Structure formats: structure tokens, C-alpha cells
Amino acid sequence: MIKVQIFSWNPYQENSYVFYDETGECAIIDPGMYSGEDENRLVSFIRQEKLTPVLLLNTHCHIDHVLGNKFVHDVYGLLPQFHEGEAALLAAVPAYAPEMGIRYEVSPMPETFLPESGSVTFGGSTLDLIFAPGHSPAHLCFYSKADKVLAGGDVLFRGSIGRADLPGGNYDQLINSIETQLFTLPGDVVVYPGHGPETTIAYEKRHNPFFR
């Protein structure tokens, strides 16, 4: 059974997640650590729970979701995994980070990219890939059908949706992704978003103002 540890940090109050199970293996999703204190919090949790990180996953490659990629690579030897359609976004970060006043340690690139569908595994757990572009060109969500949890990145928030006005964004595509890829999941699936509190598919179908 997947357990979820939530961290919120960096100037964007981005949510990073550690998904782990009884085997002790874990996936680090969207590491946004920005300060030494942030990095220590992640390492301390992993050490305290005696976890072995085996996956570094990015839902997408906007700056706030990749700030900790290099640290995770340096400490745990993991290369990030994301869809190839996000590579240009990641490559652009070093150019615009200084303009935003953000100190950025350049992320390594993947050895292999994730497809639009399929799955990744850690321990005894499987995360299905859900292709949900619109906030970014090739955004992926990571879904455990067995445990009904979704790492949703910046697609769907509690009572809101992701921005579509950033490079590679498309509002109509984002709405379509939510309606066809996320709202077709069971209502009791818990959505862990890239910002703000968790929610459920049923709650958003009933209450999200973008879909009334």
C-alpha cells in the first residue's frame, strides 16, 4: 500500500511528494527543494523511514517542480524521468531563472523519457502514466489504481485548475485533459496537486467552478 509524504517549499510553495510502500522503496515526485533546510528535510525523512529512492519523476518541467532534481541526482544517483515533450521547458530554465531571482542548480537530463501511457514501478507498487497536457506541453500524472492516489502536478487543484498562459500551455487542451483523463477516474481517488491541499475527483466534479 502506498504511503504519501507531502513537502511544500520554495518561493512558489510547490508540493513535492515521496510515494513509498512496505518494501522501503520510494519515488520522489517533483522535487522542489530550494534551501539547505529543504534538502535536509527530505534526506532526514528518507533516512528516518529507512527508504531507498529508486525513481525521480517530474510531472512537468516548470522551474518550481525541478529545483531539486540535481540534488536528488547527486545524493541518490537518480536521473529524472518525464515526457520528452517537456525537455525544451527544462532546457530553458537556466536562461530565465536569474530574471526571476531564483538560484537554480541545473538539472540533469533523462537517459530515457516516459511515454504517454504505460507505467513505472517501485517496490511492490505500480504508477500508471496519464498524459494530461494543457498546463504544459506534455504533462504527466502518476496514478496508483490499487491505492487510488494520483500525483496530479499542476493540472487540477482543489477548486481550481492549472494555469494555461505559460509557454506551451493551452486552456482548451487543459480542460479536455481533466474531463477525459482525470474525471473518468473513480470519485474516491485522492489527488495530490502541485500546489495547495489534496482533493478528490468526486469533490472537483461537484464543486470545481471551471466545470459547473
The span from the CA of 45 to the CA of 43, in Å, is 5
- What pLDDT score does 51 carry? 98
- What pLDDT score does 212 carry? 77
Q: Would the pLDDT of 7 be above 80?
A: yes
Instruction: Evaluate whether 201 touches 182 at the Cβ level (below 8 Å).
Output: yes
Q: Would the pLDDT of 69 be above 80?
A: yes
Per-residue pLDDT reduced to its tens digit, 125-178: 999 999 999 999 999 999 999 999 999 999 999 999 999 999 899 999 999 999
Cross-strand partners of 80: 56
Q: Would the pLDDT of 70 be above 90?
A: yes
Give whole-number Cα distances, 158 to 23, 25, 58, 212, in Å.
31, 29, 20, 14
First and final CA of the chain: distance in angstroms?
Answer: 34
- What pLDDT score does 167 carry? 86
The mean of the pLDDT values for the chain is 97
- Mean pLDDT, residues 64-88: 98
The span from the CA of 194 to the CA of 142, in Å, is 12
Domain ranges of the chain: 3-211
- What pLDDT score does 44 carry? 98
- What pLDDT score does 180 carry? 98
**Residue type (1 letter), 193:** P
Q: Would the pLDDT of 84 be above 90?
A: yes
Per-residue pLDDT reduced to its tens digit, 23-46: 999 999 999 999 999 999 999 999
Q: Domain 3-211 is of which CATH architecture?
A: 4-Layer Sandwich (3.60)
Tell me which H or E stretch contains 71.
Answer: helix 69-76
pTM: 0.98
